[in-house]
Structure 1
Amino acid sequence: MFFEEEDKRGERVIKHGRAWYAEELRQKDNVDLHKLWYVLLIERNLLLTLEEESDRLEKHMPSPERLEKVEESMKNLEEVLKERDTAVKLLDTGYEKGVPGRWINSPLGYKRYSPAKEYYVPFHVNKRMARKRHYYEPWTQTYRKIFLEQVVREKKKAFTRERHRIRKLKKRFPDAEID
């Protein structure tokens, strides 16, 4: 499965077709696109394995442009699927990127994303919604500060670790361009 058939091995040139165009893919249904994606995925894995094996044996890979054509086909297929997904979201919600929302403060002072919902009664008139707190209580300020200090400390530790790792790499490989 990860190597070509026996009759094609050892050849310098293998006959192959062209990449799939996006216009052709738009005419196919989702089931065919799904099947084609897996065929292209198997072909890409085969070609990547063949490329590694050719490098290992220091031989010429037969028809290396096949990999570029498979990757271009996969890119076009992904583009067509994104177009269809956007169209479905536009039909369902009227928005390109799904349901909109907003960032609100939880009662403990943390920001969280709240997706938009439809209400029978407008938000400013709805008494039940008005009782929900979208702000934080003053007594949570101390805990919020402690939490934010921990977040900043973790970020600083990660930055220091990365800087130390780069310094070690530069010391080990002085000619390498490491940023």
Structure 2
Amino acid sequence: MGTGAEVRGPQGAATPEQGLLFTSDVPALEEGVGYRGPTACGAAGVTYRQLDYWARTGLLEPSVRNPSGSGTQRLYSFRDILVLKIIKRLLDTGVSLQQIRVAITQLRERGVQDLAHITLMSDGASVYECTSDDQVIDLVRGGQGVFGIAVGSVWREVEGTLASMPSEKAESPGTGDDELSQRRRARKTS
């Protein structure tokens, strides 16, 4: 992002200090738990058409279960939905989808726990990654930061939204990934 189209700190390097914008109280996530497309859309505030397009074009594919044929439901992880919400916020502030693709590619390489400690700043054209209050202040002073997204706050927002929504455990392939597969198996054994 930035002018070089990469996620980076304002001075090019991340500082290990965590300030008031950054929280350390990030809960552990349960592995293999996913949310179907409509639930992901509701939690992230995107349309199903956007979700489908982004999955087909590789912007954000579901990490719990990506469909391999008809009848298989996509399952999005908590992290996927967190990134969807960030994509939505960046789009709403005028950042181009091309810049968002670059940013998401960079963020995808980070662990989930690392995401909660990042603030994304943007001037509407470039996106900058900040990992300390000092970096945020430097960007604002330099006129580069017009708005910011504290990922830890988005994390808590998504977590609160998903708490009341249905989730499901991903099963290993061949064990009845979805209702359609279960019905087909039941017909064959009858």
TM-score, normalised relative to structure 2: 0.21
Q: Higher helix share goes to which structure?
A: 1
